[in-house]
Chains A and B, each alone.
Chain A
């Protein structure tokens, strides 16, 4: 009897599925892009923007500072009268260091809150997760972190560095210093793996040797083996793409193995002022970093930014490159909207080309074709005070080239 009943229920459920599927046949993929997008709600005297950062989970320590910088820019803009006479109303969501959550919250911001733009994301995985959401809904994302390049979405503005504005200049610097061999250490995820592919192609074309390449899982604190391999390789320099906590363990291990900045310098691309503080200056002093902005970068715009940030969040809080890029992204969006005269996404995109802003890092220009930003590359050295001072810069902003098309050695990469 139970058998029959079970089957009957099963059959009923199946019929329902079939009926529902038949009743609800939408457009085919061959119909082309059918989604109309969701227009931002700008009917009131405020305009909503979404802030999408991880406030919990492993990425929170970094992403909260980005959120703070975005809030600072919004407050400043509101105090100066807002955008197109509308005050900006921030709607915050927690991405929780979880990529599908990022996608869910992005969709919520766009469809439920009907924000005019979203600022945020940090890891490449989170950006890849939300990219289809923004493209589907024809909404704007401003992504403020340096990344591995090889991407160009019409609905994302990349205000951090792409590879030819950070990694390639870092390598140029090492080459100029006479380094002929490298050791690559990175966290096991997309950015380090892709960055290392680019580094290897560069090394091959420039007569440098890559003596080893090692990855540690995100969050790993076991670096004994890797450090020993680095030491016995005798490389001229180490290129470090480790992210987060792993850096603490790596640099402690590095120092205890007797390796120093003088004998084998480490160039890091994910260590900014905030991370220097948590790793400990004694382990990092003299080591190199490659970014576009440091707290010590000279200029009136930066003095103002640093002073405002410290006044709002505390005198002991450093400012860093991703924070600056996030802060700048809000101002760039404002400039684009004002040039377009509307919050309409397509018009804002059209207006973006050539927008300039006197940023804390210096003058930045939006490149409308790639939707990246022309930025000055800066190599810095960690000082005893935990701040990073510039030892080299590219002299002028570097035009973004996310697919490295203008570099012959990168031909096979994309």
Chain B
């Protein structure tokens, strides 16, 4: 693998460089961000619950979970240049950790989850399930477990300078391996069925629409918090370093930074976000199964990000929600032909809006002030701070 990674072709894969976008004044920038967050919060917390039926709101909760994964991919891929085609693994780790705890809580202390008796014929709970009975272990594990896996994998891979297509293939292989593992261990993982029929969420009955609404609010709040975190990272010195590594890893190395560490941080953070998304997906949808974490769903996460605009803050979120929503809407409207329509949509967006839906905003703005402003790809630009110039 090392020899492959040092291949000169892969070592030099700079993304095509769009011209640098002139930075907006800092005060205007901040003002816009605050208004944006307030607007998003109002939309998610006030408008959506009022306008949407219980069923549609629970669908939105599901879309927002996908959007959380997208925020992480936006950071790792859009800003860090790591095409992570295996985010399903981290989503799954978070989801399974949460579902294992909820299944154990449903079964009650001392009992085993229903499927283990049906498929496993086990006499007692397997050792590796036991810690998940405690929420104090399971809840942190939903985030820390994916982060730990990403850390180990990332440490091995980035130091060896595995990049580009090789990194993408590796992350996919991980997703495939995890699915095979889960299916093979049917007695303890539920096999292809996954973990289903989850009744309660920390003592609250998930069948109750009021509690479903609560889960939605938690998800919406978490997404906003993750967006704030991502924005903070992107605006920080670290964020600039990350973009610099994406655009020219060698140059950053010559400047004395360690690109491997820079990439590792983004990769681990993205994994943590995916894990959190998986954990919240479980109470929102009531199921986690290998079908949700394999190669296809992992690619679907990335498609949403690509469509939204990978290097922007909001692009991945909007893209993920738009793709998931379109999937539902098209499949309800045209049950027989929707897959073709969805494919067509992907082709059209990628062909005519390579910067994603977020570049539409750029187009609109250009029309506003007549200044050519191509897509906002978050280029490395000199830092402008008040008083620092």
Interface residues of A (CB under 8 A from B): 1-3, 5-6, 9-10, 12-14, 16-17, 20-21, 24-31, 33-35, 55-56, 92-94, 96, 98-101, 103-105, 107-108, 111-112, 123-125, 128-129, 131-133, 136, 150, 188-190, 193-194, 197, 215, 217-218, 412-414
Contact = CB atoms under 8 A, between A and B. Distances in A.
Nearest to B285: A100
Contacts of A103: 285-287
A198 to B, nearest CB: 12
A22 B181 CA distance: 39
Contacts of A104: 59, 62, 285, 328
B336 interface: yes
B231 A26 contact: no
Contacts of B386: 1
Given A98-B291, A99-B287, A107-B55, A16 B199 contact: no
B336 A94 contact: yes
B196 A20 contact: no
Interface string B57-71: 011001000000000
Contacts of B224: 9, 13, 16
A217 B33 CA distance: 48
Contact of A125 (B121, B193, B222, B229): B193
Interface in B204-223: 204-205, 207-211, 213-214, 217-218, 220-222
Nearest to A413: B121
Interface stretch (B80-88, B124-132, B183-191, B246-254): B183-191
B204 A34 contact: no
B192 A28 contact: no
Contacts, number: 192
B292 interface: yes
Contacts of B328: 104
A99 B205 contact: no
A217 B295 CA distance: 14
B207 A129 contact: no
Interface in B233-265: 235-236
B283 interface: no
A195 to B, nearest CB: 11
Interface of B is mostly: helix
21 contacts: A5-B30, A9-B231, A16-B41, A17-B225, A21-B217, A25-B204, A25-B214, A26-B205, A55-B335, A55-B336, A56-B338, A96-B331, A99-B193, A99-B289, A103-B286, A111-B54, A112-B53, A125-B193, A125-B289, A132-B286, A193-B119
A237 to B, nearest CB: 25
Interface of B: 30, 33-34, 37, 41, 45, 53-55, 58-59, 62, 106, 117-119, 121, 180, 183-184, 186, 191-194, 196-200, 203-205, 207-211, 213-214, 217-218, 220-222, 224-225, 228-229, 231-232, 235-236, 285-287, 289, 291-292, 328, 331-332, 335-336, 338-339, 385-386
A17 B33 CA distance: 20
Given A13-B224, A194-B119, A6 B336 contact: no
A2 B236 contact: yes
A24 B228 contact: no
A111 B53 contact: yes
A124 B45 CA distance: 37
B332 A27 contact: no
B119 A190 contact: yes
Nearest to B296: A98
A27 B204 contact: yes
B213 A28 contact: no
B191 A20 contact: no
A129 B196 contact: yes
Nearest to B236: A2
Given A17-B221, A93-B332, A217-B180, A6 B231 contact: yes
B265 to A, nearest CB: 16
Contacts of A30: 203
Nearest to A17: B221
Contacts of A215: 184
Contact of A131 (B180, B197, B208): B197
B232 A189 contact: no
